[in-house]
Amino acid sequence: MNNGLDDVLATETVLSDVDGAAGALIIRGRSLDELAGLARYEDVLALLLSGFFSDLPRPDRLGADLGSARQRVFSRLAAQDERLLRLPVTEAMRALLALIEDGDDLATALNLIAAPAVFTPALVRLKQGHAPIAPDPSAGHAKDVLRMLHGKESRDEEAAALDAYLVTVSDHGLNASTFAARVVASTQAGLTSAVIAGLCALKGPLHGGAPGPVLDMLDAIGHPEDAEAWLDGALDRGDRLMGFGHRIYKVRDPRADALMGAVRNLAAARRDNAGRFSLAESVEAAAIRILARRKPDRSLKTNVEFYTAVLLEALGFPRESFTSVFAMGRVGGWIGHAREQALYGRLIRPQSRYVGPRPDRAA
């Protein structure tokens, strides 16, 4: 039995549509091309949350309310045990999210959206031996994240690149983490529980945990001319090439294009990172060639995680924080889906077929 539920239509949603054959993503009626690189994360949040909270402010107010939520959430860090803050970033994030009171209201939603944005830079700084930096509630969300990470104002192009990333990953149909969040929300457990479930599903290497290993792969390859031999060797060992293949997309993931564009713009604006970018392009081309040769019956193309790795590295996030940065964007989608499920859905309770032994009737 195929237990990946590939062909199961599990719900209807107004949030996003993933067309795997055409390589297209629609988020609340807008194509990804329309949003990535043009909209700020706050604008996409207004789309994702629209209709799910009776007191949702106008889109131009939402950014200010999110800024206040960043401040509220930051104040919780002070009381935390040192040992918790020194856990690996995703583990610490999971523990810190659990401190946000569960509920279904807008304040809970904004605290949860602010949490990865505030906690990720704070946890990274603590690991580097620096004190966390308090948020600036009047700043744009992406710009504030970079300020809290680096301790100085970022350039507009850097904030635009992070916005492009957060928008690009904000929602993506019924992926594993969103499904996990919806299952939890279907029990009416509350948004905090749903978001923690989403994060737990996201951290695995088959979902949101791939970009760190993508950079490990680029480091190990080192030079474009060594790509083919290294990739062939990895496949000979039975490894998967991180950043390639997708359950739904049988063509190039449109998010890979959006992020490649963001990496290119950033490299041009800063006049740096050209070597890393051209290594990534060569490795991508070699991987596509080799996967087509070795797995001709599969259509394994670049997925979102490949250029995520290059972009987040260029913005100065260490690789162990990548899953938390992914959560920083996807949390908007998780909350939209959790509210849609809680408001309009039923308890999710599929069935299983028992294939184990039965009691011996003769005994």
Contact partners, residue 321, CB within 8 Å, separation at least 6 = 89, 120, 123, 124, 312
The Cα–Cα gap between 289 and 224 comes to: 14
> Is 180 one of the binding residues for ligand ACO (CB under 6 A)?
no
**Contacting residue, 37, 137, 198, 208, with ligand ACO by CB under 6 A:** 208
The Cα–Cα gap between 169 and 24 comes to: 13
Given the complex with ligand ACO, which of 139 and 258 has the nearer CB atom? 258
Q: Could you tell me the smallest distance in angstroms from the CB atom of residue 261 to ligand ACO?
A: 18
Q: Which of residues 291-320 bind ligand ACO (CB under 6 A)?
A: 295, 298, 300, 303-305
| Catalytic residue (choose from 246, 284, 313, 337) | 246
> Is 41 one of the binding residues for ligand ACO (CB under 6 A)?
no
**Contacting residue, 30, 127, 150, 207, with ligand ACO by CB under 6 A:** 207
Given the complex with ligand ACO, which of 116 and 208 has the nearer CB atom? 208
The closest alpha carbon to 154, from 144, 164, 167, belongs to 144
Given the complex with ligand ACO, which of 122 and 201 has the nearer CB atom? 201
- In DSSP notation, 151-211 reads SSPPPHHHHHHHHHHHHHTS-BTB-HHHHHHHHHHTTT--HHHHHHHHHHHHTSTTTTT-H
Given the complex with ligand ACO, which of 246 and 337 has the nearer CB atom? 246
- Respond yes or no: is residue 153 known to be catalytic: no
| Catalytic residue (choose from 305, 313, 337, 340) | 305
The Cα–Cα gap between 330 and 323 comes to: 10
The Cα–Cα gap between 363 and 356 comes to: 18
Given the complex with ligand ACO, which of 6 and 55 has the nearer CB atom? 6
> Is 329 one of the binding residues for ligand ACO (CB under 6 A)?
no
Number of residue whose CB is nearest ligand ACO: 245
CB-count exposure of residue 22 (10 Å: 0-12, 13-18, 19+)? exposed
- Respond yes or no: is residue 305 known to be catalytic: yes
Q: What is the Cα Rg of the chain in Å?
A: 21
Asked if 331 contacts 116 with a C-beta cutoff of 8 angstroms, the reply is yes
Q: How far apart are the first and last CA of the chain?
A: 31
Q: Which of residues 240-269 bind ligand ACO (CB under 6 A)?
A: 240-247
Tell me the window of 86-94, 101-109, 188-196, 200-208 that interacts with ligand ACO (CB under 6 A): 200-208
CA angle 336, 314, 231 (to 5 degrees): 95
Given the complex with ligand ACO, which of 134 and 176 has the nearer CB atom? 176
How many residues contact ligand ACO, by CB under 6 A? 19
Tell me the window of 58-66, 70-78, 225-233, 239-247 that interacts with ligand ACO (CB under 6 A): 239-247
Burial pattern 131-153, b for ≥16 Cβ within 10 A else e, equals: ebbbbebebbbbbbbbbbbbeee
Tell me the window of 8-16, 17-25, 78-86, 236-244 that interacts with ligand ACO (CB under 6 A): 236-244
Residue positions annotated with a catalytic role: 246, 305
Residues that bind ligand ACO (CB under 6 A): 4, 206-208, 210, 240-247, 295, 298, 300, 303-305
